[in-house]
Structure 1
Amino acid sequence: MTAVVQTAPLGRAPLDFKEGGFRRNLKRHSTPYLLGLVGMAWLLILFVIPLISGLAVSLMSGNPQDGYTFTWNWSVYSDIFVNSDVPYVTFLIRGLVYAASATIVTIIVGFPLAYFIAFRVSRRWKNALLLLVTLSFFVSFVIRTDMWAFVLSDQGPVLTVLRDLHLASKDFHILGTAGAVIGGLAYNDLAFMVLPIYVALERIDPRLIEASADLYGNKTNTFMRTILPLTRSGIFAGVLLVFIDCAGDPVNASLLGGTHTYVIGQAIQDAYLTNQQYNVAAALSTILMIVLGIILFAYARIVGTDNIEDLV
């Protein structure tokens, strides 16, 4: 008589069907899913439900006096792009251009800063420098932007110094321009780029840099072929954080910009708070989220996310 022995797949713990074994197996295999329920509930409450409710509000008809009713009013989307006297498409494109420009600025400024902290600073000073990078977050976002407006104003220190050095005329202005808005966006979100890149740089094995030098690689080749590819995950995460945050921001354009720097974030804010066009504001928010989703999906497909889990 031949005995049948049940074996587990290679790499897995053998299943225990003895008394109490089933409960242990169930507890062991269900623990990751139970822990994931917290994150799923968080996404459901703070992302999925607001997204669905925003879409539902956009399909309503009515006014603030008589109220709004759900009527499947899909024409609000065509009215925004075709029949509206307000150039919402221009505001959307302008907001995306400002967000992309601010993202590029944060990469240009943030990568050398993260590289300096990761490779050129002793370990006892790294935490202090990282604290300085994030120190601005201890102050309100609106206050930071308002102080930036003071710095860039006509009587601010920047233009005062430039005029004293005869590098700027009296008619030259920074505040109220696209450059001021992009600068404010980059200033407020710089830490979102520095920290992910720093984490990616910290994970690089120093022996790889030594191997590049042993293979007669100069500093430029070592950086371009070794360091930069290994920080792709940090740059990817930083771009996501900065671009998404800047695309819908109404504060910087309101405090630092002018009539020619009006963006989609301001249009959503004014439609909701000033004009009380709740369906229009919800439709604009939905369109912005769809456009951002398409852009970020294309970006992820082009750049790739093979090593994004390294930051976790």
Structure 2
Amino acid sequence: MFKAILIDKQDGQQQVGLETLDESRLPEGDVTVRVDYSTLNYKDALAITGKGPVVRTFPMVPGIDLVGTVESSTSDAYVPGDAVLLNGWGVGEAHWGGLAEKARLDSRWLIPLPSAFTPAQAMAIGTAGYTAMLSVMALEQQGVTPDQGEVLVTGANGGVGSYAIALLARLGYRVVASTGRLEEADYLEGLGAERVIDRAELSEPGRPLAKERWAGVVDSVGSHTLANALAGTRYGGTVTACGLAQGMDLPASVAPFILRGVTLAGIDSVMRPYADRVAAWRRLGELLVPEKLDAITRTIALEETIETANELLAGRIRGRVVVAIQAPSRP
């Protein structure tokens, strides 16, 4: 038996609760993992509250991240006792996820837990930090360098935004943080933001082209914010897009692309190939320091997950939420 957050639907109404389940209910997979930690991401909160069409099949255990120890395996890649990490791959959407004491998974979705991090630290980073690292790597690959000017980070108080600021600042970029919570300016500057602006500067309908301001952008917001970020990006700059907190629409024009040569780079973290995942986590191990993780992270128990999901969608949580599933299996 194991505990899990279980989402179900009956008569068209979603129900969610903390349940005790028999291990025989776990889905198919060649590796069974004892989950030590998971996380609560924006996508998880949408799934738990039913405020977004995240869950594809019912019943579902949410949780797009997990770290834990292999209990049993029929895969040649992992043996019992291995510490493993998972981000994405449709887990928590189409396949039971990490907000449970046990998970049965496809071994191809896993990577070894990086030696630079403890299980708790890996989940403090989670999909948010991993996505932020992929975004920063995309800026680097497009030739955006610290000497070219300011880099904008939207949704700065969120998990992706917080990590993007910390990573960019560590690499020497001058970071401008856009947020709707200006009272968190000290927090954002502590992560490395050079200055903080009100998201209202970017969240309303704007012009096809605006004053050139940004050498690069990490956007997790979408909609008018992304359109205005594109309009304000300097000639030859790059904007990465990885989220939709404001909306899925993009009310923009082609002007930034054909008149300024701006690149819009889409960042998908869910189906990313194994090699990209390992490379991103290696860079995270090189760049992040424990003090930054502590500043970004709040830890809760599995029993607190549903209430905290509502807080997250209400905009009352900054940074990352780590869910301690049970006592960790290693330091």
Class of the TM-score when normalised by the shorter of the 2 chains? under 0.3
Report which structure shows greater RCO (CA 8 Å, sep ≥6). 1
Report the TM-score, using the length of structure 1 for normalisation: 0.22
Structure with the higher fraction of residues in strand conformation: 2
Larger Rg: 1
Structure with the higher fraction of residues in helix conformation: 1
Report the TM-score, using the length of structure 2 for normalisation: 0.21
